Amino acid sequence: MPGPGRKFEKGKSPNPGGKTKKRRDIEAIAQRICEGPTEDNHLALSELAAMAIDVENEPKDRRACWELLLAYGYGKPTQRTELSGPDGGPLDLRHAVEAMTPEQKIEAGKIAIARLEEARREETRTIEANTGGDE
């Protein structure tokens, strides 16, 4: 009998059979796609699409196919993460900076400057595109 707050009995697997054969097939197809652009990728994507619409397959396996097709076709959605300090306040990064070597500080500064310059260039391009370059 499961303990309080547990769905499954301790020591018993909720999935004793492990992954289905179809799920292993889906993973193998995904790995083939990840190997890079080849003629085989078109075939692999076709196999995934066929598995996704085949009603004979388990719903969870069909869903895995759809998720892969969408991830490769449109990219995975961005997952945002917010970091904050105590009680939701700002992070205090002084300790992290103090722990950096002088070389690391210089490199971090170069990266920050490059990102700021790129943001400025992007802002200029946006303004020019929106105003027709009049400003």
Task: Give how far Cα 133 sits from Cα of 118, 119, 122, 127, Å.
Answer: 19, 18, 14, 7
CB 100 within 8 A of CB 108: yes
Number of domains composing the chain = 2
User: Are 69 and 99 part of one and the same domain?
Assistant: no
User: Are 70 and 27 part of one and the same domain?
Assistant: yes
Residue 10 in any domain: the answer is: no
CB 45 within 8 A of CB 37: no
Which residue's entry shows tokens 């179809």? 22
> Which amino acid, one-letter code, is at 132?
G
**Interatomic CA distance for residues 58 and 87, integer angstroms:** 46
Residue 31 lies in domain: 21-74
Residue 127 in any domain: the answer is: yes
Q: Which residues contact 7 (CB under 8 A, 6 or more apart)?
A: 14
Residue 102 in any domain: the answer is: yes
Tens digits of residue pLDDT in 56-97: 988 998 998 888 888 877 777 777 887 888 888 888 888 788
CB 54 within 8 A of CB 42: no
Half-sphere exposure (Cβ direction) of 89: Cα atoms closer than 13 Å = 4
Q: What is the mean pLDDT of the chain?
A: 80
- pLDDT given for residue 96 in this prediction: 80
Residue 1 in any domain: the answer is: no
- pLDDT given for residue 48 in this prediction: 83
Residue 14 in any domain: the answer is: no
- The answer to whether the pTM exceeds 0.85 is no
Residue 110 in any domain: the answer is: yes
User: Are 27 and 67 part of one and the same domain?
Assistant: yes
